[in-house]
Chain A
C-alpha cells in the first residue's frame, strides 16, 4: 500500500477564480477563505450561482483548464499548497485524500459500468489492491453506507437502483479510499425529505466513524441545521458571514443571512407573507460595484454601492468562537 499523507486540515486562502470566454470574464470566486478540520462539518450555504460548485471543483483540481483561471489564492492540505502541485501529484490526492459527492447521482455515475467496477477501480488504483481484495473492501463499504445485498448491488447498473441508493453508491465511491476530507455538493437537493434525512444521517455517521472533515454544500439553511459544526454563507463569490452553527442560527448578523432565514416557509408563518429576497444572484460576469448584495439589500446606504465591505469580526454570543461578517452596516437596526 502506498503511504498516506493524512492531513488534519484543509485550508482555502483568498481564492479568486475567473472563467474567460472570449472577451468576457466571469469572476466566480472573489477571495474565498474557508478552513476545514477533520471530524468537523463545515457547511457552505448560498443561492444557486453564488460559487459553491466552483469552490468545490477548484479544491478537487477539476476546473476546466481551457476556460478557468485561478487569479489568486492557495489551498493547503496540511502543509502542502495543492494548487501548486503538478497534475500527476494532484491525481494522487483526488479520491484518496479529498473525495467528492455530487448533486445528481444519476448523471454522475457511469451508466454502462457496473457499480462494483465503479467502486473497485479506485481501490485498485489508489490502494494497490488486487481484484479480490477490492471486492471484499467494496462489500464492507456498501455495508458502511447502509446498503445490504452487497453482491447483488455490486453486479447491478446504476439505473437499476433507486435515487436514494444511487446517492449511497456515490458516497460509497467517495469514502472507499478512506479520505481525510469529503466535499458533498448538494448531495440531498435532488432527494425527497425522507431520503434526504437518511443521507444526512449517513454522512454524519460516516464522519464520526471515519474521522473525516466534511465540506457540506447546500442552498437551504434548514438542511444544514442538524449536521453542521460551522457555517459559512457565500454570496456572489465571497463569504459574507461565517460562524459556528449555534451562533449563526441564534445571531445571524449579515442582512443576506437574515433574509435567507426569513424566506424559509413554515407553518408558523401561515397567513403572513414570506420575506422573499427580491431579484437574483448577479452573474459572475456582472458583479455590482461595492457590496455585491446592495441591489437586493433592504438597508443599503450610499457607501454600499461604492465600497466593498471588509470581512470583520463581529460580536459573538459565545466568547470562544469567532464570528465574522462582511457588511458596512452590521450594527444597523432594521425592522421586519
Chain B
C-alpha cells in the first residue's frame, strides 16, 4: 500500500507568554508522534479530551506555527515548505472540526460561505453556482436552501455544509476532528454514512479523530491510541480490538458505553492492578518519553516498562 501521509517525530510545545514568570511553564502538547496513513484508508486516532488530538491535527494541517518534525505528503516534507510552494498542498488537505458553528460565519449565507473558498482557488466564476449546488446535493442539503443562513440549519446539517465546503477544494486528505461528537447518535450515523460514501466516491484518505472507541473501531482501518500527547498503541483495527496491549487502551475499551460488563469497571486514576503481562506500572509512562515497540505485524505499543514478553 502507498503511504499518503507520514508523520515523523511531530512535537508541539506551547510556550508560556508571560512577561515575568517565576517558573517556565511551557507545555508539551504533542510528543514525538510518528504515524503513517495509507492512501484511501481511514486512520482512527482516539484519546480522551486534552490529550493533544486537536493540536496534532492542527499541526498536520500546518494551521499553527509548526513545531518540530516532518510531515510528508506523498513523500514531500510540507513542514519545510512555505508561501507559494505550500499553497497547492493546502487545498489538497482539508479539516473538519467538531463544532460547525465556529466553522461557519453566522452572518454569511451558505452560498457565500462556499463561494469564498472557490473564489480563492480561482474556480471559473460562471461555474461557481453550479458547483455549489452540486456539492450541497452531494452532502444531502437541498441546493434550494443555499441562500439560508447557518442558524436555520440543525447541527447535523451544518456539519454537512462544512463537509461540502471542505470537498469544494477537491482534497485528497481530510482530517476529521471529532466531526460527530456534538451530534446525537442517530444523526452521527447519517454523517458517518456520508463520510464513507464520499471516501469511496472520491478516493479520499481520512484521519478520523474521536474519543469514541466504538465509532473509531467501526470505521477505521488503523487505530492509534493517544495519551498525554503520545501515541501509546497503534495497529490495524482488528488487531487492537482483539488483543489490546497497552493498559490505557484496555481502560478506554472497558469504559466505552454499551460494552458488555459483568460488573461496572471502576475507572480510577493511577491504578496499577490487573495489568497484562509484560507491564509493570502505568502512570510513570505518562511522564517520560515512550518508545514504541513493534510486537509484530505493525502492532506497536509504547511502554517503557514493556519487557518484551
Contact = CB atoms under 8 A, between A and B. Distances in A.
Decide if A and B touch, CB cutoff 8 A.
yes
A201 B187 contact: no
B255 A196 contact: yes
Nearest to B219: A265
B211 A276 contact: no
A225 B264 contact: no
B257 A276 contact: no
Interface string B267-280: 10000000000000
B214 A222 contact: yes
A194 interface: yes
A280 B154 contact: yes
Interface in B182-225: 184-190, 192-193, 196, 211-215, 217-219
Nearest to B218: A265
B254 to A, nearest CB: 8
Most buried by B among A193, A194, A266, A269: A193
B15 interface: no
Contact of B184 (A47, A194, A225): A47
B179 to A, nearest CB: 13
Contacts of B218: 265-267, 269-270, 274
Nearest to A200: B264
Contacts of A280: 154, 156-157, 187
B64 interface: no
B255 A275 contact: no
Interface in A200-227: 200-201, 204, 219-223, 225-226
B245 to A, nearest CB: 17
A274 B184 contact: no
A195 interface: yes
Range of interface residues on B (Cβ < 8 Å)? 35 or more
Interface in A23-58: 47-48
A259 interface: yes
B265 interface: yes
A195 B251 CA distance: 11
A278 B48 contact: no
A198 interface: yes
B143 interface: no
A222 B193 contact: no
B241 interface: yes
B197 to A, nearest CB: 9
B186 A194 contact: no
Given A201-B264, A222-B257, A265-B192, A193 B185 contact: no
Contacts of B186: 47, 259-260, 263, 276-277
Contacts, number: 108
B255 A225 contact: no
Interface string A178-191: 00000000000000
Given A48-B155, A195-B48, A197-B255, A277 B261 contact: no
B188 A265 contact: yes
Contacts of B187: 47, 276, 280
Contacts of B154: 280
Contacts of B237: 267, 270
Interface in A236-274: 259-260, 263-267, 269-270, 273-274
Nearest to B153: A280
Contacts of B48: 192-195
A273 B196 contact: yes
Contacts of A194: 48, 251-252, 255, 267
B257 A266 contact: no
B258 interface: yes
B82 to A, nearest CB: 36
B185 A220 contact: yes
A253 to B, nearest CB: 18
Nearest to B253: A193
Nearest to B251: A194
B81 interface: no
B42 to A, nearest CB: 11
B74 interface: no
Most buried by A among B189, B192, B237, B267: B189
A276 B218 CA distance: 14
A195 B269 CA distance: 10
A151 B24 CA distance: 28
A233 B201 CA distance: 36
B287 interface: no
Interface string B112-127: 0000000000000000
19 contacts: A193-B213, A194-B255, A195-B48, A200-B257, A200-B264, A220-B257, A222-B185, A259-B186, A263-B185, A265-B188, A265-B189, A265-B219, A270-B237, A275-B189, A276-B186, A276-B190, A277-B186, A277-B189, A278-B190
Given A193-B48, A276-B193, 18 more contacts: A47-B184, A47-B187, A48-B155, A195-B48, A197-B255, A200-B264, A220-B257, A225-B257, A264-B258, A265-B214, A265-B215, A267-B218, A273-B196, A274-B218, A275-B189, A278-B190, A280-B156, A280-B187
Interface of B: 48-49, 154-157, 184-190, 192-193, 196, 211-215, 217-219, 237, 241, 251-252, 255-258, 261, 264-267
